[in-house]
Structures are given as C-alpha cells and as structure tokens.
Amino acid sequence: MESILSSPARSSRERSVNQAGSWRLGIPTYIYAVVLSSFCVVMGLLWDIMWHMSIGRDGLFAPPHVVIYVGAVVAGLFSAYQILNLTLTKNHPGRLEAVPFWGVFYGPLGAMFCVWGALTMLTSAPFDDWWHNTYGLDVEILTPPHTILAIGIMTVQFGAIVGVLALQNQYRNQPATEFADADTRRLNRLKWLFAISAGLLLTTLFTLASESMMKYRSHRDSYYIAAAIVLPFYLVAVGRASLLRWPVTTIAGLYMLFLAAPSWLLQQFPATPRLGPVLNPITHYQGFVFPLLLIVPAFAVDWLTHRFDKTDGHGKKMNDWLLAALLAVAFMVVLLAVQWPFGGFLHTSPLARNWFFFSNSWTFDNPPDFKYRYAFSPRSIQTVEQFAAGFGRAILYAFISVRIGLFWGNWMKRIAR
C-alpha cells in the first residue's frame, strides 16, 4: 500500500511536532472544539430524552436544547474559522493539504462536515419548537424535526471523527522506531480523541435505534435484528480505522459510559412533571436505558481481528468476505449469550430496580401499576422455532453489516485531509 504520508502531510507533521511542547501537542484547536461539541450534543440529547420522560413540557430554549445548540455553535464556528482561514490566506501552508469545495473554499474535510452538520442542527431548532407547539409532547424519538436534528448531530460527529483521522493516519504506515517523543505523545492523544469521537457517535446511533432495543424486547428476534443492522458495520469500521490495540472494545466501553453516566447523574436531581396527564407522580429525573453489554461481543470482534486480520509474519490475512462471516456470527452469538439473560435481569429482577441499573424508571404519563412493567408480555414471547428463524436472519443482516463496515473502514484508513 502506498504510504499515506505524502510530502504535504510530512511537512504538516513536522510543523506539528515543532508545536508539540504546547498542551495541544500540535493538534489544531478546532479538533478539540469539534470533539467537545460532539460530547455536548450527546449529553444534551440524552438530557432531552430524560426531560421528556420526567418533565414533559419544554421550549426552544429548554436547558437540554441549549446544551445541544452550544455544541452546534461551537462545531460550526471553529470549523468555519478553520475553513475561512485557509480560504482567505492564499499563501497559507495548509492549503495544499486542504479539500477544495465549489472552487472557492478550502478546508479540512472534517471541518466541512461539521459546518454542514451545525447548520442542519440549528435549522431543526425552530422546526422542533413549532412541532411541539402544534402536536404537543413527542411519543417517539424520531419525529420529523428530531430526524433532521439527528442527521445534523451525526454529521457533526462524523466530522470530528474525520478530522482526527486525517491527523492520525499520518502515522499509520510508519514504524514506531521512527517516532520522536513528540510524535508518540501526539499519536497517543489522537488515538484517544478518535476513540472518544467514535464512542460518542455510537451512543447517538444506539439512542436513535433504542426503541427497537428496549429491555422488554430482549427475548424477541426483532431486538437482535435491529442490533445486527445498526451496530456491526459501525464497530468494525471504526475498529479497522483505529490505531488502538483493542479499538472495538475501547469504543464499546466508552459508549456504555457515555450512555449510562447522564442517567446516573440526573436521577439525583428533582424533576416535576409539567404536562398532563400525570399518572406517575415522580419527584426526580427518570433514567433513560441501561446500555447493552456491548463490550463483550466487542472483545470477541477484537480478538478475532487480531487472529485473522493480519498482514505481518504472524499469520496470513483472511479474505474480507470470510472475515465478515466469522465476525458476524461471533458478534451475534456472543451478543445473544450475554444480552438474553441480562435483558431478563433488567426487566424482571428486583435487583435491577435501583439507581445503577435504573430499571424502575418510568415516565410520568404511564401508570405505575402497569401489568407488564416488570414482566414480559405474551407478545414478547416467541416459540423456539420463531426466534431461531428470526435470529438466523439477524446473522445474515450482521454479515452484510460487517462487510460494509470493513469496506468503510478501509476508506477511513486512507483519509489524509
């Protein structure tokens, strides 16, 4: 494979190493800003969901919305400045590495994604306010304005990932023995910025698909079909693009932390419903959903990748089609092995009804004595034959998902601008 370190990339790397004495380690400020904005929008999104569960009534400038908008503004402004600086400074040394757009603008590809995403997010704000004023409280996560917002959020988050990758990939094909101390520190920082960015986007993806993966669905084939479609392609792609030793495991662990931490925190704060009917008179914020135990199948994916996806002297690299089949089966079988009993524990066990697992969380507009609050309804029960047929389809979908992920991961490994 041709080295990704072209002459412009080498010159950029040399300039960065010269700046490595600062806290930024030669990493552009806008990279830190867009990763921070990705964190803000995820925390705001999760807070907004819990606000709807616990309080109901909101407005354009409700606190969770403000956190989301701050994330959009930060990503948009810092990325726009990076683009305009390269565009208006004709002799800027970074222009040779920039991506031209419309023959007028020059900038990093990640920054362009962030600007487009930020504009989309801010456009969705008045639409969402009108939607609530017209139709009241949302009963679904993916309403039309939320769909527009979600597209904007994921574009910003993907921009953060691309921005970090363009810098990380400068080191991809270089032996570690060639690194100066500044190189090593900068690369380690970039590895973790990528993992954090990828974990935040994974949290968003799960949140958008969470209605199909609630704990009361964990004994149905539809739960695993949704997981097979949404999760493997992304995990495999970012795992292939990352330079961490155990990338999929690390990113899955970060997803679990990012998803659970807001619920752990907000449950400690009072919240009073402001919209009727109040069937469950709660007094504190209600937790969202406990994350999937994704770290376990993620570890299986990493282990198999280390074993079969090598090009060095320790083993022959497996064909991507065969690797996709192996990873798909392993991911789904391990996910079933851990999530079936854990989903049952979350939904039915009294030991899960506490602040840590927050299985006792219940929205204000649902009666607390609902018959199936802590039990699987008959509609959630399938025969062995029905479940096996559905799970077989899930493995097929996972195979397609993983194969797309491997292809996408190869593309991400080549991002250089």
In this predicted model, what pLDDT tens digit does every residue of 100-142 receive, in sequence order?
A: 776 678 788 888 889 988 988 888 777 666 666 666 655 556 6
φ, ψ for residue 292 (rounded to 5)?
Answer: -60, 150
Asked if residue 277 has a cis previous peptide bond (ω within 30° of 0), the answer is yes
Give the chain's mean pLDDT.
86
Q: Look at residue 298 in the predicted model and tell me its pLDDT.
A: 97
Given a cut of 60, whether residue 356 has pLDDT beyond it is yes
User: pTM for the full model?
Assistant: 0.89
pLDDT at 218 over 60: yes
CA dist 176 to 184, 192, 194, 302, 311, Å? 8, 17, 19, 22, 17
Query: Which tokens in the block code for residue 264?
Result: 């752990």
Environment class of 164 (CB within 10 Å of its CB; exposed 0-12, middle 13-18, buried 19+)? buried
Position 8 pLDDT exceeds 50 = no
Q: Is 292 a residue whose pLDDT tops 90?
A: yes
Which of 354, 271, 283, 203 has its CA nearest to residue 52?
271
Contact 244, 250 (CB under 8 A): yes
pLDDT computed for residue 122 by the predictor: 84
Mean pLDDT comparison of 13-27, 93-107, 113-127, 362-376, highest-scoring range: 362-376
Residue 129 and residue 55: Cα distance in Å, rounded? 16
Instruction: Give the range among 58-62, 117-121, 265-269 with minimum mean pLDDT.
Output: 58-62
What is the Cα gyration radius of the chain? Answer: 23
**Which residues does residue 106 pair with via DSSP β-bridges, in sequence order?**
100
- Residues in a beta bridge with 99: 107
* Residues facing residue 362 across a β-bridge: none
Q: Which residues contact 126 (CB under 8 A, 6 or more apart)?
A: 60
Number of H helices, E strands in the chain: 12, 2
Residue 285 scores a pLDDT above 80 = yes
Q: Six-digit token pair at 65?
A: 């919305």
At 236, which amino acid appears? V
Bond before 145 cis per omega within 30 degrees = no
Compare 27 and 137 and report the one with higher pLDDT: 27
Q: Which residues pair with 247 in a beta bridge?
A: none
Contacts of 350 (CB under 8 A, 6+ apart): none
